[in-house]
């Protein structure tokens, strides 16, 4: 044990010794914090964190200068709800830790914990981060349990991925949740209340010697106690207005629980109540079709109407293409969401929901230097991330997708007769 | 039996006449001939009628004509359902007295978007099991089914696609089967029946599928369970179709010779396959991987037919030269990838790379959400190409959205570009359509105003949505 500690310490030292100081100058800086947007800003980066964000500043000595004139600077975007790191190829093959069958450790799903399942070498991380997304919430997306278990906040750096474990718990209280609970919401909500009541009343450390006949396993109880205390936000997925009203009354019954509404296709219909109950939402603002009878009110105006009512809106629900969250936010803006709220939906709001808003989703002294320099408006489909800092260092703008691209572009060059698999870049 | 190309061509010509009723000449000889058996080629005819339009002139507008020209500050005039004239700034146009004149300052005009890969109506919203009518997953070869017999015109997706500037679309069967059945091309004016939406005189298409889907669906149901099994399945089916064509050829020949032959029994499956072999029916093949597409182009040569379009074609960039050489289009997404193994090598530059190689590139949706923003899909692919050094002018990019899909569907003589005499399938955008923030302001189909952004009453509302919450995206 002692030996391990020594090794870790020296690694940390080595990293900080390598770190450079950077000054990003001349860009339009969206701080997403109290300084608002600075037209000609200077962001100083030191030892992996932001040192300062100044207007019209110049770079001091000893900082590598990065010219962002004519560019836009934002905090790295946050994937609000993904399965990044848990899945390589969704259907059939490869590593899939994003879905789960039965396990003896859990009866209600609450105990499942994805922090142990993250693969930092997943190709999705590099593919996603070079498009300006530097961290993400990741969770199991398919289980037949009541709960989907504990999700984590991960960095997309490709190293030590978990920024915050047990960052949230998920549950579906819509049609799919009802299906898992035996086919009816009439069972689902009774089950949920009983399961929570049991966890609340169970002694804080259930003895292994004494028998336990609960609806939850012992591990489920441990996890749910953290939800009940408000340490772990509860992500409740529901679409139809009636179900969302149940979520709001659930919040009334359990004022300590930090409730977040997920997907919320008809959330706009009860926007005032959501605002009053301080329930933020995570949505896909492009979802505008009545895919079922619980989604009849689907509209492209969902995000705008929620925002207008004072609800905090986070945007970004996907995995392989969570990199398109910026386009989703752009389309929310095209349908009435203010541009600033579109940016917040990708940064400060998800950071706030997960309680990591001192570290990510904001450019302020002391926060992580996860910073993106964009060619222009990040919500515009024709613009792109040009330079991405994760943890204070610019990343290699490379993924297996860019390598595939480069291989086959070079194959087309005149006189290049090498077989494709010998096309390698230096 | 080896079939030489020349012999096959002969076969094809003979059988082409099979499908045209009344083409046979009655050379009655000594034998008493029974009436000649001919096959009706259009048993479910279109009853489409355009929305009545008014002569319309849009002035001071940026025009992308869809065939490589950009006209700044131009004018477009359409009347009687057709494009009448496109004018540069300063030119004068003769217009009808009752012409609606729209100032297009700051706005853009393009041909209507044509999506050649949609499942609207066959996999409609709401997506209940009762509505799941897109895959006849009962046999790997179901060329006999026609998507038009599944299309539910009350799918709210049609109206949403219209708001995204989609004026025509091909509805395909799904990709579970080696041969999934016939497709149908629709004009996107939502109405009571499929026939009310059917694109008049559009050729039929036929869906085929490579790779993972057929082997997943049939692997435990008698096969195919491998890719080699897939290819054996295509080849046997084509061979059966050739045999069927020979039977009809013999019938034709004997009838022409004055004999009284018995007509072969119609086989609906082989009839569609024969139509694909003789070129009457366009082949649309779901295929992701470069190596599989290349095998299929050899199968195509072996049986002397033409694959019109590979759909999805996630690895088209790897073989863009071969696609050009074989005159096969690729219908692609801008950036979908990784949802299955055969989609693992998707890159953002696929579409521009195919275009740059001189092959035919198409942006398709295969999605009831994606179909609403195909202009954004093209914009992403275009700008990703630019950043990778593939410099394609914006005015050429629109060919991915209209002209090329129209060619893929065999309707480019009618629509897909803004040229005099073409159907007035036109979108007036409230800004540059290569922007997230731009929306279709007016969508005209055959000159009739099918959608207006600012007039809620002009938005189609399906029967399904009527009287329900939201009622077609109302507050």
The domains of chain A are located at 1-76+362-395, 77-360
CB-based contact, B346 to chain A, within 8 Å: yes
3-state secondary structure of A409: helix
**Cβ contact B468–A301 (<8 Å):** no
* Residue numbers in B near A245 (CB within 8 A): none
State the nearest Cα–Cα gap between B45 and chain A, in angstroms. 30
Specify which residues B86 forms β-bridges with: B76
Predicted local distance difference test score (pLDDT) of residue A204 = 72
Predicted local distance difference test score (pLDDT) of residue A5 = 44
CB-based contact, A293 to chain B, within 8 Å: yes
CB-based contact, B382 to chain A, within 8 Å: yes
* Residue numbers in A near B345 (CB within 8 A): 404
**Cβ contact A91–B339 (<8 Å):** yes
Predicted local distance difference test score (pLDDT) of residue B31 = 81
Which listed CATH number (3.30.360.10, 3.20.20.140, 3.30.70.980, 3.40.1160.10) goes with A77-360?
3.20.20.140
Q: Which of B347, B355, B453 to mutate to test the interface with A (most CBs of A within 10 A)?
A: B347
CA distance B414 to B200: 10
- Which element (helix H / strand E) includes A123? helix A123-129
Predicted local distance difference test score (pLDDT) of residue B90 = 82
Taking one residue from A and the other from B, the number of pairs with CB-CB distance under 8 angstroms is 137
Residues 6+ apart with CB under 8 A from B450: B51, B162, B167, B188, B189, B443, B444, B458, B460
Predicted local distance difference test score (pLDDT) of residue A19 = 59
CB-based contact, B304 to chain A, within 8 Å: no
Predicted local distance difference test score (pLDDT) of residue B108 = 98
Name which CATH class applies to A1-76+362-395: mainly beta
Tell me what the mean pLDDT of segment B366-381 comes to.
98
Q: How many CB atoms sit inside 10 A of residue A199's CB?
A: 22
Tell me what the mean pLDDT of segment B159-179 comes to.
98
Residue B463 above 70 pLDDT?
Answer: yes
Kindly report, residue by residue over A247-284, the tens digit of the pLDDT. 999 999 999 999 999 999 999 999 999 999 999 999 99
- CB-CB contact of B414 with B93 (8 Å): no
Phi/psi of residue B285, nearest 5 degrees: -120, 120
Phi/psi of residue B184, nearest 5 degrees: -140, 145
| Per-chain mean pLDDT for chain B | 94
CB-based contact, A291 to chain B, within 8 Å: yes
What is the token pair recorded at A353?
């929901």
Residue B339 above 80 pLDDT?
Answer: yes
Residue B232 above 70 pLDDT?
Answer: yes
Interface of B with A in 425-454 (CB under 8 A): 434-439
Q: What is the ipTM of this complex?
A: 0.93
**Cβ contact B335–A305 (<8 Å):** no
Q: Which of B358, B469, B472 to mutate to test the interface with A (most CBs of A within 10 A)?
A: B469
Kindly report, residue by residue over B391-450, the tens digit of the pLDDT. 999 999 999 999 999 999 999 999 999 999 999 999 999 999 999 999 999 999 999 999
Q: How many residues does chain A have?
A: 426
Predicted local distance difference test score (pLDDT) of residue A94 = 58
State the nearest Cα–Cα gap between A277 and chain B, in angstroms. 22
Q: What parts of chain A have a pLDDT lower than 50? A: 1-17
Q: What is the DSSP string of B231-282?
A: HHHHHHHHHHHHHHHHHHHHHHHHHHTT--PPPPPP-HHHHHHHHHHTTSSE
Q: How sure is the predictor about B7, in pLDDT bands with cuts at 50, 70 and 90?
A: very low
Q: Nearest by CB to A321, from B336, B347, B434: name it.
A: B336
Predicted local distance difference test score (pLDDT) of residue B17 = 43
Domains of chain B as residue ranges with CATH? 5-23+39-47+113-417 (3.20.20.140)
Q: Nearest by CB to A296, from B346, B390, B468: name it.
A: B468
What is the token pair recorded at A247?
């979520």
**What residue in B sits closest to A406 (Cα-Cα)?**
B388
Residue B10 above 60 pLDDT?
Answer: no
Specify which residues A115 forms β-bridges with: none
């Amino acid at each position: 044990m002692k030996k391990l500690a020594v090794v870790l310490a020296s690694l940390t030292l080595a990293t900080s010794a390598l770190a450079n100081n950077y000054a990003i100058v001349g860009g339009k800086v969206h701080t997403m914090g109290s300084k608002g947007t600075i037209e000609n800003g200077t962001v100083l980066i030191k030892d992996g964190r932001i040192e300062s964000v100044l207007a019209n500043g110049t770079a001091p000595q000893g900082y590598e200068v990065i010219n962002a004139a004519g560019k836009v600077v934002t905090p790295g975007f946050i994937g609000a709800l993904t399965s990044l790191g848990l899945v390589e190829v969704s259907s059939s093959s490869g590593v899939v830790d994003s879905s789960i069958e039965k396990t003896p450790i859990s009866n209600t799903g609450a105990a499942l914990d994805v922090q142990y399942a993250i693969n930092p070498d997943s190709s999705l991380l590099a593919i996603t981060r070079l498009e300006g997304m530097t961290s993400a919430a990741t969770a199991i997306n398919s289980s037949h349990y009541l709960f989907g278990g504990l999700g984590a906040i991960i960095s997309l750096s490709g190293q030590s991925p978990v920024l915050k474990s047990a960052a949230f718990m998920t549950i579906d209280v819509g049609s799919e949740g009802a299906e898992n609970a035996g086919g009816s919401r009439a069972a689902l909500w009774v089950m949920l209340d009983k399961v929570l009541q049991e966890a609340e009343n169970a002694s804080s450390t259930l003895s292994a010697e004494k028998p336990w006949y609960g609806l939850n396993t012992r591990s489920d109880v441990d996890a749910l106690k953290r939800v009940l205390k408000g340490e772990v936000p509860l992500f409740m997925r529901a679409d139809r207005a009636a179900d969302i009203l149940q979520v709001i009354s659930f919040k009334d019954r359990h004022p300590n629980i930090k409730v977040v509404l997920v997907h919320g296709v008809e959330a706009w219909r009860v926007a005032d109540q959501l605002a009053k109950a301080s329930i933020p939402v995570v949505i896909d603002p492009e979802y505008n079709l009545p895919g079922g009878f619980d989604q009849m009110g689907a509209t492209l105006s969902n995000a705008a109407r929620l925002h207008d009512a004072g609800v905090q809106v986070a945007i970004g629900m996907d995995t392989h293409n969570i990199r398109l969250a910026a386009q989703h936010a752009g389309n929310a803006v095209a349908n009435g969401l203010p541009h600033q709220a579109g940016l917040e939906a990708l940064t400060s709001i998800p950071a706030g929901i997960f309680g990591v808003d001192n570290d990510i989703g904001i450019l302020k002294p002391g926060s992580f230097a996860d910073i993106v320099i964009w060619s222009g408006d990040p919500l515009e489909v024709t613009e792109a991330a040009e330079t991405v800092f994760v943890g204070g260092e610019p990343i290699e703008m490379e993924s297996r997708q860019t390598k595939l691209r480069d291989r086959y572009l070079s194959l087309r060059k005149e006189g290049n007769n090498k077989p494709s698999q010998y096309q390698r870049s230096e | 039996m080896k079939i030489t190309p020349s012999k096959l061509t002969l076969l094809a010509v003979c059988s082409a006449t099979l499908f045209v009723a009344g083409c046979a000449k009655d050379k009655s000889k000594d034998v008493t001939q029974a009436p000649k058996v001919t096959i009706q080629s259009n048993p479910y005819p279109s009853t489409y009628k355009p929305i009545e339009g008014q002569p319309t002139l849009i002035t001071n507008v940026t025009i992308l004509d869809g065939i490589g020209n950009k006209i700044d500050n131009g004018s477009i005039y359409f009347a009687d359902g057709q494009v009448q004239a496109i004018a540069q700034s300063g030119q004068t146009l003769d217009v009808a007295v009752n012409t609606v004149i729209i100032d297009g300052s700051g706005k853009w005009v393009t041909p209507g978007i044509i999506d050649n890969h949609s499942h609207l109506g066959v996999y409609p919203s709401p997506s209940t099991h009762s509505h799941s009518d897109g895959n006849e997953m009962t046999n790997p070869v179901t060329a006999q089914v026609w998507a038009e017999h599944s299309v539910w015109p009350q799918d709210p997706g049609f109206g949403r696609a219209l708001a995204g500037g989609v004026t025509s679309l091909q509805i395909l069967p799904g990709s579970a089967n080696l041969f999934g059945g016939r497709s149908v091309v629709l004009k996107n004016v939502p109405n009571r029946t499929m026939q009310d939406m059917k694109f008049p005189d559009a050729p039929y298409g036929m869906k085929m599928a490579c790779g993972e889907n057929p082997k997943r669906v049939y692997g435990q149901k008698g096969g195919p369970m491998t890719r080699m099994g897939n290819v054996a399945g295509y080849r046997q089916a084509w061979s059966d179709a050739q045999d069927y064509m020979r039977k009809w050829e013999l019938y034709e020949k004997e009838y022409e010779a004055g004999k009284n032959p018995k007509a072969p029994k119609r086989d609906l499956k082989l009839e569609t396959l024969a139509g694909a072999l003789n070129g009457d029916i366009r082949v649309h093949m779901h295929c992701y991987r470069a190596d599989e597409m290349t095998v299929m182009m050899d199968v195509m040569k072996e049986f002397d037919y033409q694959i019109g379009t590979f759909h999805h074609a996630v690895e088209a960039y790897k073989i863009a030269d071969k696609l050009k050489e074989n005159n096969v289009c690729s219908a692609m997404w801008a950036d979908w990838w990784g949802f299955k193994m055969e989609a693992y090598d998707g890159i953002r530059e696929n579409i521009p790379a195919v275009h740059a190689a001189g092959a035919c590139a198409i942006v398709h949706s295969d999605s009831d959400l994606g179909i609403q923003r195909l202009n954004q899909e093209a914009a992403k692919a275009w700008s990703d190409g630019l950043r990778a050094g593939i410099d394609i002018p914006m005015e050429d990019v629109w060919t991915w959205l209209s002209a090329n899909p129209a060619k893929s569907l065999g309707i480019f003589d009618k629509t897909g570009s803004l040229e005099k005499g073409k159907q007035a399938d036109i979108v007036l955008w409230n800004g540059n359509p290569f922007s997230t923030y731009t929306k279709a302001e007016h969508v005209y189909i055959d000159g009739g105003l099918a959608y207006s952004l600012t007039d809620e009453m002009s938005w189609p509302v399906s029967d399904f949505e009527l009287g329900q919450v939201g009622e077609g995206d109302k507050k």
